[in-house]
Chains A and B, each alone.
Chain A
Amino acid sequence: MTSPVVRSPVLKRRDAWTYGLAGFVVAIALWELVTRVWLKSNAQLAAPEDVFVALTRLVTDGTFWQETGRTMRAWAIGLALSLVLGVAAGVLIGSSRVLWHAFRPTLDFLRSVPGIALMPLTLLLWGPTLRSDVFLIVFGTVWTLIVQTTYGVRAVDEMTLETARSFGFNRIQRVFLVVLPSSLPYLATGLRIASSVAITVAISAELLIGNPGLGNQIGLARSYGQFTEMYALILTSGVLGVALQAGSSALERRFLRWHESQRAAQR
């Protein structure tokens, strides 16, 4: 009997590419098959070749890039704000046991509130704008970043901190030269999660309440009945997601090369 146990023998790079490519070919063939069978009865479906044609039309179109730029701008502003707020609050809360216990229940609560529930609220406050996108991104990411930072701060080695103290580092120097660098791996994890949450929140808000950006383009294509364009746009949002994931893990590898967690992961 074949056992359902994953063995990991030495992976051959070429094997991985060949099989991966085959997987995509099969997936596209399945898509083709599904549309061939159902296309006549459902005009809202689109065959892969048509979607790829629409895709090439999209990437040569200025509006598409402009809207993608808007989504990315909301992503960047939201993430940056969230990072600054999260790290500041996290260092503060993490460095005191009393503060940590004082804020933990509230943080746990806020962290589990689905940000999507606030969308109608932001729509009333600011309408479908960049500001609403940014607010929702910050709300969706900042609690996780605060909590991750506090974990990082609380995991700082006491001995290192003592050493810094006996060398006469003042509080600010200790925060920037000891606490922050050693909590970087926790922060990196938080940031990787936050980055993918941020893009999800941005696209969701754009699609559901019409904030300007890629998600709104998907919604518009749907309401104008341009289904081929709609599928092409959804594919590009996947490409964006993949690019962001690859980007954040590359950054993590680059900046945390000195840290054990990365050394182990490099294998």
Chain B
Amino acid sequence: MRRLSPWTFRVIELVATAAIFATVWVVVGSNRSYIAVPVPDMLKTFASVWTSDHLWNDALPSLRRLALGYLAAVVISVSLGFVLGMSRRLRLACLPVLGFVRAIPPVALLPIFLVVFGVGDVMRISIIVFVCCWPILLNTLDGLGELDETMLATARSYHITGADRLFRVLLPAISPRVLAGMRTSLSLAVLLLVASEMLASDGGIGFFLFQSQQAFRLSEMWAAVILLGLLGYVLNILFTVVERRLLRWHASTRAQH
């Protein structure tokens, strides 16, 4: 087979993506459907909406909720993983219940959180925490289950105990697993953020999106759709960068380079 250089592929990626974007631009521009806003208008509204008050009142509060909920979920679920990791009986008792709760489509849990916490940031952040916990928790348990015996024995014979053992032996060893769970949770976090803002509304990107649609302000609605798309994309890229950096030592990432 012919070998092409990595640079050729870069060029192909750029040109093709530009071509796809241009096609969308033209198709949307010539579309007669009332829902299709011409791309230039869309971009203009996007720029003006997200540099106005909406940045402070909707976009940033959403990001804050997302960050708080997600980070809390990581800390809680990894700690919980260590607790459950200590006892097989505890795991046998807890995992089936957790499996059931996890199988409930997360948005269906929103009404319960509304009843318990009312409308507000506590509700929005706690639903993100609750839903994002399970993938990380289960992956933490998997990670603890596959720890290398030799490594543990080595740590023991060097008298590495307590915090050192936790931060220098156990956490690094399970980090590939934990990160895999965190990746799943990331998209769940965005889903629950938007859903919670749509269902119980007093601000946020999801609230703005829903309001613009209700009021038929189509280019503003598109501004919110584009922002959410970019948010998802940028978060994924950031995640990949962080993951590569943290797992530079790990074989499965080294193979990718």
Contact = CB atoms under 8 A, between A and B. Distances in A.
A266 B144 CA distance: 20
A237 B105 contact: yes
A28 to B, nearest CB: 9
Nearest to B79: A4
Interface centre among B17, B105, B161, B199 (most CB of A within 10 A): B105
A184 interface: no
A89 to B, nearest CB: 13
A203 B100 CA distance: 16
A114 B99 contact: no
B216 to A, nearest CB: 8
Interface residues of B, number: 72
Interface stretch (A80-88, A97-105, A256-264): A97-105
Interface stretch (A5-13, A55-63, A145-153): A5-13
A44 interface: yes
Interface residues of A, number: 66
Contacts of A199: 105
A207 B213 contact: no
A124 B35 contact: yes
Given A109-B233, A218-B111, A234-B104, A101 B13 contact: yes
B225 A118 contact: yes
Contacts of B40: none
Interface stretch (A18-26, A127-135, A168-176): A18-26
A2 interface: yes
A16 B92 CA distance: 6
The prevalent SS among residues of A at the interface is helix
Contacts of A1: 161
A33 interface: no
Given A3-B86, A117-B228, A242 B112 contact: no
Contacts of B92: 15-16, 19-20, 23
B16 A103 contact: yes
B170 A4 contact: yes
Contacts of B232: 112-114
A70 interface: no
Interface in A211-235: 215, 218-219, 222, 227, 230-231, 233-235
Contacts of A27: 97
Interface of A: 1-9, 15-16, 19-20, 22-24, 26-27, 42, 44-45, 97-98, 101-106, 108-109, 112-114, 116-121, 123-125, 199-200, 202-204, 207-208, 215, 218-219, 222, 227, 230-231, 233-235, 237-239, 241-242, 245
